[in-house]
């Protein structure tokens, strides 16, 4: 018999949100701080995992939502046997498969064949009052016991030292991975930006809004040369690299929010070596 939400909540030490029974986002997600902005003294206080390059999602116990609260329409068979407790995770196919993942996940009419390639990789239990060590044990055991093919969990490992972690980061980056996530073992789930979660990347990602298309020259004559974009603080700059031929011929629309990658900032606060990555429709 499938456990009730209340029984699972009592068993796992959860607090079920009042909006749990409605089609809404009943929580405010915990957001990571960047590695450079967080002074770490005791590295052994953290567990690390690979940062999956997928679509972050919240499972309310009956429906999926993006971080911004937009409902994700998964097929009935995908959600049929999922537990009746809040879970947070990543829809993921594999490394360098973000576009395919987004195409499937953000379609309001789910395609069964596309969804067969997707797994929901759990990385937290946002309604739990326990520290992360206990939460990790709970969602790992839950995923293993349920044995649902498309339900997995993000494996976490103890941090030995900063140098060992940076070595792992370089290995993940060389293999095409997104980066690493650190979670404080004693940390509770905190809404908003929290030092309990730290992201590590070789390069930083950020978002900007498209405010103009600049015509290409030379081999890009007749198609996009660069995007003119605006940062949240109002600064404007150009992004001219990172585009495929198809993206130059069909550039992001004016007003779209795009993700770009960069390596720090100039003295004027403009991103260095900015290159286009993608449009994430879950964030529009």
Q: What is the dihedral of CA 265, 213, 105, 206, to 10 degrees?
A: 10
Q: At residue 76, what are phi and psi to the nearest 5 degrees?
A: -55, -40
144: helix, strand or coil: helix
Q: Which of 2, 38, 51, 184 is catalytic?
A: 51
- 51 noted as active-site residue: yes
β-strand 236-239 against 180-184: which pairing, if any? unpaired
The region that residue 228 occupies, defined by phi over 0 for left and psi between -120 and 50 for alpha, beta otherwise, is beta
Q: Which of 80, 78, 85, 86 is nearest to 117 (CA)?
A: 78
Structural tokens at position 128: 């739990």
Q: Which residues contact 119 (CB under 8 A, 6 or more apart)?
A: 91, 92, 93, 149, 150, 151, 152
Q: How is residue 252 annotated by DSSP?
A: P
What are the residue numbers of the active site? 51
């Amino acid at each position: 018999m499938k456990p009730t939400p209340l029984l699972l909540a009592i068993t796992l030490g959860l607090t079920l949100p009042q909006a749990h029974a409605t089609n809404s986002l009943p929580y405010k997600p915990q957001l990571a701080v960047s590695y450079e902005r967080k002074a770490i003294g005791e590295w052994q206080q953290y567990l690390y995992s690979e940062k999956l390059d997928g679509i972050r999602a919240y499972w309310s116990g009956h429906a999926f939502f993006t971080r911004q609260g937009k409902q994700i329409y998964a097929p009935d068979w995908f959600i049929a046997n999922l537990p009746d407790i809040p879970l947070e995770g990543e829809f993921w196919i594999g490394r360098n498969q973000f576009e395919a993942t987004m195409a499937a996940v953000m379609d309001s009419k789910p395609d069964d064949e596309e969804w067969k390639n997707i797994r929901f990789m759990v990385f937290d239990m946002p309604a739990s009052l326990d520290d992360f060590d206990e939460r990790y044990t709970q969602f790992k055991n839950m995923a293993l016991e349920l044995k649902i093919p498309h339900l997995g969990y993000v494996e976490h490992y103890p941090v030995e030292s900063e140098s060992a972690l940076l070595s792992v980061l370089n290995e993940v980056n060389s293999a095409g991975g997104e980066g690493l996530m650190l979670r404080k073992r004693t940390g509770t789930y905190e809404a908003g930006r929290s030092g309990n979660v730290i992201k590590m990347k070789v390069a930083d990602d950020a978002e900007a809004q498209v405010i103009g298309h600049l015509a290409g020259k030379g081999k890009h004559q007749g198609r996009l040369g660069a995007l003119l974009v605006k940062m949240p603080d109002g600064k404007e700059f150009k992004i001219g690299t990172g585009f495929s031929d198809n993206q130059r011929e069909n550039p992001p629309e004016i007003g779209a929010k795009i993700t770009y990658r960069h390596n720090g900032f100039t003295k004027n606060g403009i991103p260095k070596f900015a290159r286009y990555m993608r449009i994430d429709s879950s964030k529009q």
